[in-house]
Amino acid sequence: MKPKSDCIACLVERTKYECDMAFNDDGEKIFALKEFIAFLVEHLGEEGKSPAFFGTERERIIKRRSGAKDPHGEVKKRSNEVAKGLLPEVYKFYDAAKNGNKIEALIRIAAAANSMEYGVKGYSYDDDVFKGDFVHTLNEKLNWDMDSIISAIKERDEILYLTDNAGEIFFDAFVIRELIEMGKEVVVSPKNAPVINDATTEDLKEAIASVGTGIQNFRFENRIKVIPSGSCIGVSLEGAEEEFLDVFSDDRYLVITKGMGNYEAISEFEAKPELGLRDRLIYILRAKCEPIASSIGVKRGELVAKLV
């Protein structure tokens, strides 16, 4: 997805939001903002540069200037605790689904989980509100082609699952567990280093431990393969390791990708014939901003599952 005019304001506002988290001195905030805005102006309009590309550079600037390895560490811990506390509701929702609707239930859980997001211009998120509304969120309108997505999941035995945010990763771990119980081979791709509030391999380990108890017939953690997607927002074909790219471009795998950052980045190159992503790529997210919503063709705020 190419940056829209709304994206420019959002990127700058997000930079200020993160500077407030990382710096106490207002002068440091101004210098970080100045550096990021200069980078933004220099590269706007270049081919293949999505909002996720600019967001990744913003994170590098703030981490370098602040010296913080993970400026979002406390927010991520809080999100993980919130999600962990909601797992019993996920179990009840999934158990209540009729046999024919198990895959739909998993898609709804994955989409509802993407509501957990801080710092998006025009999108209000609060942990307490999310906890109170979670059951409603699981049942709200989902914009999707149900038959084609369910068929795509049933037809492939191998799945590459690209995660998004901390907190959300606990719900993803449950979804992945159930896909494995359905007989799927699942490769999971979190981040290998902190970038915004995205889930890292460490967050995934914690999530697996939380949903891995009580499983019959197999040990969940022994049936899941982890190949990180890199340390960029979304996916960078230039920055990802060869092991990840090999699976990403393997046409045996259905690719399920979570969140707006992954959509921003991957939609820029999803049509590359050498990747062969057509008919095997599913985006799952909440469309929290107008540029994303208009790019996908949905209403802002909707839960979305889209098969390319």
Residue ranges of the domains in the chain?
5-66, 73-307
Residues across the chain: 308
Please check the confidence at residue 271 and state whether its pLDDT lies above 90: yes
At 282, the pLDDT band (50, 70, 90 cuts) reads: very high
Percent of the chain residues topping a pLDDT of 70: 96
* pLDDT of the residue at 214: 47
Percent of the chain residues topping a pLDDT of 90: 92
Please check the confidence at residue 215 and state whether its pLDDT lies above 50: no
Q: Are 156 and 250 in contact (CB under 8 A)?
A: no
Rounded mean pLDDT, 212-233: 75
d(CA 209, CA 42): 44
Q: pLDDT of 231-255, one tens digit each?
A: 999 999 999 999 999 999 999 999 9
Q: Where are the beta strands (DSSP E) in the chain?
A: 142-144, 158-162, 185-189, 224-226, 253-258, 281-286, 303-307
Read off the tokens for 104: 């739909």
* pLDDT of the residue at 144: 98
Please check the confidence at residue 189 and state whether its pLDDT lies above 80: yes
Q: Are 247 and 160 in contact (CB under 8 A)?
A: yes
| Average pLDDT, rounded, for the chain | 94
Rounded mean pLDDT, 191-212: 94
Q: Are 208 and 84 in contact (CB under 8 A)?
A: no
CATH pick for 73-307 out of 3.20.20.70, 3.40.50.300, 3.40.50.10880, 3.30.1370.60: 3.40.50.10880
Please check the confidence at residue 216 and state whether its pLDDT lies above 60: no
* pLDDT of the residue at 213: 55
Read off the tokens for 11: 């990127």
Read off the tokens for 1: 């997805």
* pLDDT of the residue at 217: 44
Q: pLDDT of 142-157, one tens digit each?
A: 999 999 999 999 999 9
Q: Are 141 and 175 in contact (CB under 8 A)?
A: no
Furthest C-alpha separation in the chain: 58
Q: pLDDT of 114-150, one tens digit each?
A: 999 988 888 889 999 999 999 999 999 999 999 999 9
Q: pLDDT of 5-34, one tens digit each?
A: 999 999 999 999 999 999 999 999 999 999
* pLDDT of the residue at 223: 81
Give pTM, 2 decimals. 0.95
